[in-house]
Structure 1
Amino acid sequence: MSTVSAAEAAKFGALAEHWWDPEGPMRPLHRMNPLRTGWIARRVEAAGLAWRGLRLLDVGCGAGLAAEAFARRGAAVTGIDAASEAIAAARRHAEQGGLAIDYRIAAPEELAEEGALFDVVVALEVIEHVADRDAFLAALATLTRPGGLVFLSTLNRTARSFLLAKVGAEYLLRLLPVGTHDWRAFVTPAELARALRRAGFAVTDSAGMTMAPLTGTWRESGDLSVNYLVAARRA
């Protein structure tokens, strides 16, 4: 069974040409990206992993915002996405920046079937868009070497996230295109932790990501009620 939702892939593929516009429809991701990639980088380094030669997989990479940030740190990055338009945009932008990133149109289970293995796997703002959450995490586990790290960022399913991330971001502030998110697909930290354990991971850390409404800047916080990050280790 594919973990890809064709409707979700098409929705984000349609935004590919504007992905790298910092004031376009991906503006929240541009502003969030330094926080989430920096948070991940500190935990990679705390685990004693060197960036040079580190094999990192970015699942649901879109046009490459996070993939490029990790490649600039020295990692050997593979980025996969189900949207061909996003991968085409990612390849163009990486080439323009002189970055050697292996971008592929693929679902994680396809790479898992090939026997691919990575030191670090990231899936940022992805799990709330997949067709099968458990199958998706099982594929990530197969792709992560024993003792390797996985990082996810997603949205909590709370009344506050409905007001801020759905109604506020899409309908009132127009920070995201209407229909970007389905609040019913948001994942609570407890649900995600249980699903990660079923897949063979142990959660090691988590943090909230909070946006300042007046400036649009993001900071790490202890508030996981809307956006949050999770780190886990493969058994």
Structure 2
Amino acid sequence: MVETSMSEGSTRATTSVVQEEIAQFGKLAGDWWDPNGASAMLHKLNPVRLSYIRDQIDQHWSLDERSRRPLEGKKALDVGCGAGLLAEPLARLGAEVTAIDPAAELIAAAREHASGHGLSIDYRVSAIEELEGQFDLITAMEVIEHTADPQAFLQSLSQRLAPGGLLLFSTPNATAWSKLITITLAEGFGAIPKGTHHFDKFIAPERMKLLLAGAGLKCLDVGGIAWGPTRGLHLSEDVSLNYLIAAAR
């Protein structure tokens, strides 16, 4: 969901956005909120992500796990928000949410859906590099594998993270199993739109930890998202398919 733009006479990417990714995801805006539509896999992933997010914020800020609004008084940023599948639950958890995506079609769909559900979310058509301010919680789910420069992307996230803040993100692992499930099967049989993923952009956890360190971030936790025929997608210690990371400065 990102594009590379170059300043005159420069070879350094000034934004994480890849134009082709914007077009690919922008096409999904019409049925993003349909649990049986083109984004059905995201609907299946979202409860798994939310379970991890809730556990990590409770641990990080020593919150009451019974609280219905644990993020009250905190600013949250959802990067690569799509049409708001994660931003809306973050708002319901009490956060003051800013959510960004470079695809204008997705932001339009997000605003319409949030308005229809009485939610106040600051949706913006933007890349992370264009944003100012700092946030207590930053989420970037299934985004880094779509960026032009993962190291620069993490650096930008780090700059937006407030002191004592928490960064949470997820991404496919760079394994043969992940390629089989995510690309060969899921994309091959239409569970995910074809062309969504490129295996050469998948990042293994060991490499990700090095990228985090390069951005001045410390890895706090790595959790797996596994798939099984009886359980479907679920949190697991197995990171071979997909994994979530919690990090802080």
Aligned to 1:225: 240
TM-score, length of structure 1 as denominator length? 0.94
Aligned positions, number = 229
Q: How does 1:101-180 map to 2 (within 5 A)?
A: 101-111=121-131, 114=132, 116-171=133-188, 173-180=189-196
Matched, 1:63 2:83: yes
**How far does residue 214 in structure 1 lie from its aligned partner after superposition?**
5.7
- SS at structure 2 position matched to 1:64: coil
Structure 2 counterpart of 1:148, one-letter code: G
User: Could you tell me how far apart the structure 2 residues matched to 1:223 and 1:167 are?
Assistant: 20
**How far does residue 213 in structure 1 lie from its aligned partner after superposition?**
3.6
Aligned to 1:15: 28
**How far does residue 30 in structure 1 lie from its aligned partner after superposition?**
0.3
- SS at structure 1 position matched to 2:174: coil
Runs of 4+ in 1 over 3 A off after TM superposition: none
Contact 2:226 2:240 in 1 (8 A): no
Structure with the larger helix share: 1
User: Could you tell me how far apart the structure 1 residues matched to 2:239 and 2:55 are?
Assistant: 19
Aligned to 2:208: 192
Structure 2 counterpart of 1:181, one-letter code: H
Aligned to 1:38: 51
User: Could you tell me how far apart the structure 1 residues matched to 2:78 and 2:143 are?
Assistant: 10
Aligned to 2:7: none
TM-score, length of structure 2 as denominator length? 0.89
- SS at structure 2 position matched to 1:207: strand
User: Could you tell me how far apart the structure 2 residues matched to 1:191 and 1:89 are?
Assistant: 35
User: Could you tell me how far apart the structure 1 residues matched to 2:228 and 2:91 are?
Assistant: 28
**How far does residue 45 in structure 1 lie from its aligned partner after superposition?**
1.5
Structure 1 counterpart of 2:239, one-letter code: L
5+ residue gaps in structure 1? none
Range that drifts further, 77-86 or 35-44: 35-44
**How far does residue 81 in structure 1 lie from its aligned partner after superposition?**
0.3
Percent sequence identity is 47
User: Could you tell me how far apart the structure 1 residues matched to 2:229 and 2:37 are?
Assistant: 17
Q: Cα deviations across residues 111-154 of structure 1 (Å, max 9, x unaligned)?
A: 1xx3x100011100000001111111111000001221101100
- SS at structure 2 position matched to 1:11: helix
